[in-house]
Amino acid sequence: MEKGVPGQEKKQYQEIGQHLRQQISDGQYAVGSRLPPERHIAETWGVSRTIVREALLMLELEGTVDIRQSSGVYVMRIPSQSSDEEEAFFRSDVGPFEMLQARQLLESNIAAFAAKMATKADIENLKRILEQEQKAIAVNDTSQDNDKVFHLLLAGATQNQMLLDTVTSIWRHHENSPLWSQLRSHIETRSYRLKWLGDHQTILAALRRRDVMGAWQAMWQHLENVKHSLLELSDADAPDFDGYLFESVPIFQGKLV
């Protein structure tokens, strides 16, 4: 890892992306050829599959490769030398899986707290946004980000402004992240929206029961499902990949209060 200003060090996915870009520039992979499977790249460089996925998204965003679901990653062009401006652009971004990890840690506890603190009005607002999303999916309406609204309403249901501000900040980072936008473009389909709707309904059901641990587990599993769906876009010839940041149901020493 290169040293520099704290918080501005080159991230692992950027280093792997630069290595792959250099290999393509050196002629190891011709235009139209397929890169090695993600598992092979991960083992070669000693990193997780999520890091490799973020590196490939960086290369896709700059037009060097094309990630094709159920097919692989293909070289689209020979990259030119990256400019200082491009380096700063990617260095300022946070990897999408890193953001998901932060969300999973934070929002699971928010859901648990909301199960204790949510008012009747909060429950009704959450129910209303899920009904709105159900109708939007039926007519393929993508004009509203009901996913975002649900998570912000849930944070607001804790009655804690700092928690709401924190979740709002994370979502703002989502919206301003080129890597996240590139990743999300692969899953903007009706089937995935239906999956997230089902997850959200499970979370809301736990809130209605005032089930603190149930709400925690439902949110944890929802974001685990999101990661799983994003990682499914990896190589079709390696369906049994690893790369999860957490186990689906972590083991705790004590109880959530």
178/49: higher pLDDT: 49
What average pLDDT does the structure give for the chain? Answer: 80
More confident residue, 176 or 92: 176
Asked whether the beta carbons of 31 and 75 are under 8 A apart, the reply is: yes
Q: What is the pLDDT of residue 177?
A: 77
Please give the Cα distance from 34 to 76 (Å, whole number): 10
Q: What is the pLDDT of residue 91?
A: 52
Span 204-218, average pLDDT: 97
Q: Which two tokens stand for residue 40?
A: 């092979």
Burial classification of residue 229, based on how many CB atoms lie within 10 Å of its CB (0-12 exposed, 13-18 middle, 19 or more buried): middle
User: What is the per-residue pLDDT across 2-43, written as a single tens digit (0 to 9) for each?
Assistant: 434 334 445 788 888 888 988 898 889 888 899 998 888 989
| Cα 240 from Cα 7, distance rounded (Å) | 34
H and E: helices and strands count for the chain: 11, 2
d(C-alpha 88, C-alpha 86), whole Å: 5
SS3 60: helix
CA separation for the pair 13, 6 (Å, rounded): 17
Q: How far apart are CA 78 and CA 56, in angstroms?
A: 15
- Band of pLDDT at residue 248, cut at 50, 70 and 90: very low
Its pTM surpasses 0.75: no
Q: What is the amino acid identity at position 10?
A: K
**Residue of 102 and 241 predicted with greater confidence:** 102
The helix/strand/coil state of 205 is helix
Q: What is the pLDDT of residues 112-164, one digit of tens each?
A: 999 999 999 999 999 999 999 999 999 988 888 899 999 999 999 999 999 99
Is the pLDDT confidence value at 243 over 70? no
93 — pLDDT class (breaks 50, 70, 90):
low
Query: How is 161-198 classified by DSSP, letter by letter?
Result: HHHHHHHHHHHHHHHH-HHHHHHHTTS-SHHHHHHHHH
Decide: helix, strand or coil at residue 220: helix
Q: Is the dihedral of CA 142, 169, 247, 19 positive or negative?
A: positive
